[in-house]
Amino acid sequence: MNSSVVISGVGLWTPEHSISNEELVTSYNAWVELFNLENETAIKAEEMEAKPLSSAAFIEKASGIKSRYIYSKKGALDIHRMRPILDVREDDQVSHQAEMAIAAAQKALSAANKTAADIDMVIVSCAYTQRSYPAIAIEVQAALGIEGFGFDMLVACSAATFGLQRAVDAVKAGTSKGVLVINPELTSPQVNYMDRDSHFIFGDVATAVVVESSETCQSAHAFDVLSTKCVTSYSNNIRSNFGYLTRTTDEDPYSADKLFHQNGRKVFKEVCPMAADHIESHLLSEGINVSALKRWWLHQANINMNLLISRRLLGRDATLEEAPVVLDEYANTASAGSIIAFAKYHDDLSAGDLGVICSFGAGYSIGSLILRKR
């Protein structure tokens, strides 16, 4: 048999609202001035530290981010609120996250020339889900009219690649004929818009990928999945402590430690070499030299991280054609970043061209797939 597992379609759904660095900084600095004024006495008495101001230039230099998309812009820039406003939906209405997921899934199905009848597994794999149960994946499955099963996966910024590995294994084993792996990254509710070092990092988006056998593939732009590799190594340097136990500990459920927070310097120092070594060892395990890769679809967290990884692997900076950058427009979209890069920069490749999708993030977790254009 010459059949293989392929990625046959990818979908990208982008929110209609965006926030530029300049907008974000104007709001943040106004909040800082108000905070420092209201706490002037305590700050002068050294009982409290003054909040620092920020700038658009600082954000771009630190991260390469220039803007980000947001599911709901209302409230996020209000200095008396500093968080988005989402409408409350009844249990019989489509949830916010499912709405995003469905939109991306429909695009992926269209790209793969597939219908709901061709899919029997739905994986919603992302950094956060808006509820514990029922699974968002099962809600999406029902909305799309897919027979089979679905489940959610939470692997932070590596959720997409980990979900894809599960999908590839299922198709390879014959337990699924077609899998939708969806990454509805609704990150903005977990952003601390009052923290200078993290308020600019994340954006909202949804991506989706169709995985199936080459025997059923009808796509104009399909990729053989040559190999997958995932690894985790426990670290506290990227963390969010929001959870249901807060009700029993009587803590503030929305305090800073319950939102996204990280030790950025340690993450940079530790994750970059881990990611570079992971990619190199994965390629070597398949007898592929780094120089043979045509495209790198890397996790989009920080431009400086991606530059360092490419330098370690290539001995030079990767070109934008080799390693496309989307975080300047989208910011860090958790697990979806590498899939956005793949969605926007894959149809120009020729048959036989090799590429790698790689994500890395909290956990620590790193996942990669080696692809070959059909």
Active-site residue list = 157
Interatomic CA distance for residues 184 and 82, integer angstroms: 22
Tokens at 259, concatenated:
């939102």
Question: Using CB atoms within 10 A of its CB, is residue 220 exposed (0-12), middle (13-18) or buried (19+)?
Answer: exposed
Count how many residues are written for the chain.
374
φ/ψ of 10, rounded to 5, equals: -135, 140
Tokens at 343, concatenated:
């969605």
Interatomic CA distance for residues 164 and 289, integer angstroms: 23
CB contact burial 250-273 (16+ within 10 A = b; e otherwise): eeeeeeeebbbbbebeebbeebbe
Q: List the Cα angle 294/295/298 in 5-degree steps.
A: 155
- Those residues whose C-beta lies under 8 Å from the C-beta of residue 195, and which sit 6 or more positions away, are 256, 259, 261
Helix (H) or strand (E) holding 165: helix 159-173
Instruction: Please enumerate, as own/partner, the contacts of 342-345 that have beta carbons within 8 Å and a separation of 24 or more.
Output: 342/10, 342/297, 343/10, 343/11, 343/12, 343/207, 344/12, 345/295, 345/297
Helix (H) or strand (E) holding 179: strand 178-185
CB contact burial 112-149 (16+ within 10 A = b; e otherwise): bebebebbbbbbbbbbbbeeeeebbbbbbbebbebeee
